[in-house]
Amino acid sequence: KGKLLPVQVNLTTCLPTFGRPGKPVYCCPPRNMLDDPIVDFEFPDPTQTPVLVRRFAHRLDEESIAKYEKAVSIMRSLPYSDPRSFTRQANLHCQYCTGSFLQQHSTLPVRVHKTWIFFPWHRMYLYFHEKILGNLIGDENFAIPFWPWDLPEGMTLPAFYLNGSFINHQRDPTHFPPAVADLDFQLAPGGSTPEEQTDLNLALMYNQMVSGAKTAELFMGCAYKTGEGGDCFGPGTMERAPHNTIHKWVGSEFHTGREDMGVFYSAARDPSFYAHHSNIDRLWEVWRSTHPEMNDPEFLDSYMYFHDENRRLVRIRFRDVMDIDMLRYRYEDVENTWLAARP
Ligand code: C2O
C-alpha cells in the first residue's frame, strides 16, 4: 500500500466476471489486445482539429439528432471483431467496471468506480467514443450531447432516445418523458409532484456539488493506488447521486439490477448512457473551476487503453485528460441554477 506506482492494466488476460451476483458475464475483446498496435496518446493538433461543442440534449435540432442517430446506427452495424462497434464500445464499460482486467503490478482487478479515477476514466471513454461516431459519419465537428438532469429543463429523459437506433428496450417506461427524474431515486416512486421533485433535485445538486463536496476526496472518491481493489467503497458525492441514481432510474423495473442502465456490465448498451456521462463530465469541469487541482502523481500517471477511430489501441494517462481545451471539446454554456438552491 502506498507504493508509488500508477495503476496500470494488464492486457494479457481478460477474465469472466459477475455482472451482478449470480449473473456471470464475459465481455472481453475477441482476441488478445496485445496483437493490436499500441500507440501513446497524442493531443489533437489545434491547427487541424475543430473544437467540438457538446450540446444540451433537449435542445438539439432535428438535423443534429439525425446525424447522431445515423452514427449510432452505423456503429451498431459493425461486426464484433471491430473495436468501434457498438457492442465492443458497450463492453468496455463491462470490462473496466466489473473487473475483467487485472492490474499490472497486482493480482487485483482494475475497477474504475468508487474511486478518484471515476471521472477521468469515463472522460477518456467518451472522448474516443465521440471520435469514433464522428468518424463513422465523416463529420469532424460531431459531438455527443449532454443530458443535464440537474437543470429544470433537462430533468426528463431526452425524447429522441425513444426513436431509431437510440431505442433500448431495457428501460422503465414509467420514466419516459414527461416524467421528472428523481435524482435521489431509491427504487420506489418518491410521491412528489413534478414541481416538488424539481426543487428536491436542485437541493440535492447543491449538496453534491457544493456543500458536500468541499474536498477532492469527497467529490471524486477514494484514492485508488496500485495494489488496491478499487472497491474502496468511497464513491464521491456525484458518483453516488445523481450518477448511480439516474442509472437505476432509467433501467428496467423488470430486471434485478435494473438492466440495462442500472448495472455496470450492461449500462453502456443503452445509448442514453453516453449523454448521461457527458453531463457527469461537464459537472466535473464545473467543480474543478472552483477547486484545487489533483496533483498526486499516482493519480496523474495511471494509464488506460482505448481503441481510437482508426482502430489503434491508445495508451492514455489521466494527466492527458485534465484539460479539455487540449482535448478540443467544450460544453455549451448553461446556467447551473442549482448554485442558487442553497437550503
Ligand atoms: Cu461507469 Cu455511469 O458508470
CA 225 to chain centre: 21
Q: Can you read off the three cell numbers belonging to residue 73?
A: 446506427
Residue 58 annotated in active site: no
Which ligand 1 atom is the nearest neighbour of the CA of 118?
1
- State the distance from the centre of ligand 1 to the C-alpha of 264, rounded, in angstroms: 7
**Contact assessment for residue 40 and residue 319, using Cβ atoms and an 8 Å cutoff:** no
Q: Does any ligand 1 atom lie closer than 6 A to the CB of residue 243?
A: yes
Q: Are 65 and 166 in contact (CB under 8 A)?
A: no
pLDDT at 2: 45
- Which pLDDT belongs to residue 222? 85
For the CA of 113, the nearest atom of ligand 1: 1
Name the superfamily (CATH) of residues 9-332.
Di-copper center containing domain from catechol oxidase (1.10.1280.10)
The minimum-distance atom of ligand 1 relative to the CA of 125 is 1
Cβ atoms of 109 and 14 within 8 Å: the answer is: no
Give 231 Cα–ligand 1 centroid separation in angstroms.
14
Q: What is the full per-residue pLDDT of the chain (343 aa) written as tens digits?
A: 445 577 889 998 899 999 998 999 999 998 777 777 899 999 999 999 999 999 999 999 999 999 999 999 999 999 999 999 999 999 999 999 999 999 888 888 888 998 889 999 999 999 999 999 999 999 999 999 999 999 999 999 999 999 999 999 999 999 999 999 999 999 888 789 999 999 999 999 999 999 999 999 899 998 887 776 655 568 899 999 999 999 999 999 999 999 999 999 999 999 999 999 999 999 999 999 999 888 888 889 999 999 999 999 999 999 999 999 999 999 999 999 999 988 7
pLDDT of residue 1: 43
Given a contact cutoff of 8 angstroms between Cβ atoms, the answer to whether 50 and 228 are in contact is: no
* Continuous segment of H or E residues that includes residue 70: helix 62-77
Active-site residue, 169 included: no
Pairing, β 52-54 against β 329-331: parallel
Of 287, 246, 243, whose CA–CA distance to 122 is shortest?
243
pLDDT at 31: 79
Give the per-residue pLDDT at 3.
52
In angstroms, the CA 49 to CA 28 distance is 32
Distance 247 CA to ligand 1 centre (A): 8
